[in-house]
Structure 1
């Protein structure tokens, strides 16, 4: 529990990441989970990647504008993500975990492995080197991978942005997004102890119930298991 203490110091918090393709509903589900954790009197910090800290937000604009793909392709994007993640981890994530908060992050290192690794064919050696530098031994305690059919996710993303131009990744082809979906499903299959694959092609409350059940089962103590979400 985030509220427990040991030797007068707050117990370390838990790190939960949300992953999935475009339009999977990550932002919505993070907000709903935060409400439920707060109802259980667990401190939460919501953040996102790329971004989440002042320095990383600057990098976010560069990445989503497509500058990385123009100046050097996926490898350049990988370096930009690494710089943003380093600032994010040290400025926001680690301090919040040290204070006992649950950190809920919209995308993390799995996104780099799916987008730049699987889709951009960036060598695993480079990805591993960047990970050692930026996050070291930090790994999510739980990763929720929201899975939706590509056509559904792309339609949701289009409706969400309205008349705004698609960003660097939203503008990719349907084939790109299909292969991206398979990359995420493979991550879930490879690391079942950390990852939970959830069918997000359902009503928001249904998906939220599955997310809450996964968090209860994996991370919460028995005295919190009985908390009924609003």
Structure 2
């Protein structure tokens, strides 16, 4: 059985990751591919429990190192129970956030030491890495306005941070894309969702060769 493909979507708040993950999954299904959609923090029962602790801000007083440890614990369960089995079964896995978010939020912005993040990443993923990472990019003020317009209640742990924080997040994601061009593609997410979805579909086809299957033809 052919190993599946692992695609992650990254970026700051309000960049449209969740929307574009759903649209990419739907597009690939129309081409005849089997797709699993997931997210971080979360994606498995154990990880979803940790998600509430992280996004509610309950872990914030403990500092970025503690948050990094909790993200790693959630990721370990997620990878072992969902991502790795799905890839082994030949499924395409699309994940809303993964390792790059930890490197940005807890690393570049939170100043957690890289050696600790290296160790946590290896422990949590066991070498499971994305085949392609789409880093969605919008100006921070645009992203925060979009996040506020969603009307999902109070801002979460990260949405509530100030303008300087979100500017630093954007800068760090752009740097991640530049540092790993073989895996990462920076996507201009300022146009309307249809245009962004078309752009992403083209990138996925070009980078991973995911075209229509024989069954869908």
What TM-score range do you get, normalising by the shorter chain?
A: over 0.9
Please tell me whether the aligned partners of residues 31 and 211 of structure 2 are also in contact (alpha carbons under 8 angstroms). no
Q: 2:104 matched to 1:114? A: yes
Q: 2:211 matched to 1:211? A: no
Task: Pick 1 or 2: higher relative contact order, CA cutoff 8 A, min separation 6.
Answer: 2
Q: Which has the larger radius of gyration?
A: 1
Q: Distance in 2 between matches of 1:12 and 1:220?
A: 14
Q: Distance in 1 between matches of 2:210 and 2:75?
A: 30
User: In structure 2, do the counterparts of structure 1 residues 223 and 169 end up closer, same or farther at CA, with 3 Å as the change threshold?
Assistant: closer
| 3-state SS in 2 of match to 1:55 | helix
Name the structure 2 match of 1:22: 13
Q: 2:57 matched to 1:66? A: yes
The one of 13, 31, 43 equivalent to 1:40 is 31
1:200-225 Cα distance to aligned partner (Å, 9 max, x none): 0001111001100110001125666x
Kindly state the Cα deviation for residue 161 of structure 1 after the two structures are TM-superposed. 2.8
1:120-139 Cα distance to aligned partner (Å, 9 max, x none): 00000110010111102111
Name the structure 1 match of 2:121: 131
Scaled by the length of structure 1, the TM-score of the pair is: 0.91
Query: Which contiguous aligned blocks of 4+ residues in structure 1 show a shift greater than 4 angstroms?
Result: 221-224
Please tell me whether the aligned partners of residues 32 and 212 of structure 2 are also in contact (alpha carbons under 8 angstroms). no
The one of 160, 168, 175 equivalent to 2:157 is 168
Kindly state the Cα deviation for residue 175 of structure 1 after the two structures are TM-superposed. 0.6
Structure 2 segments unaligned to the other structure (5+ residues): none
1:166-202 Cα distance to aligned partner (Å, 9 max, x none): 1100000011000100000000000000001010000
Q: Distance in 2 between matches of 1:176 and 1:13?
A: 36
Name the structure 1 match of 2:84: 94
Q: Root-mean-square deviation (CA), in Å? A: 1.4
Q: How many residues align?
A: 215
Name the structure 2 match of 1:5: none
Please tell me whether the aligned partners of residues 174 and 186 of structure 2 are also in contact (alpha carbons under 8 angstroms). yes
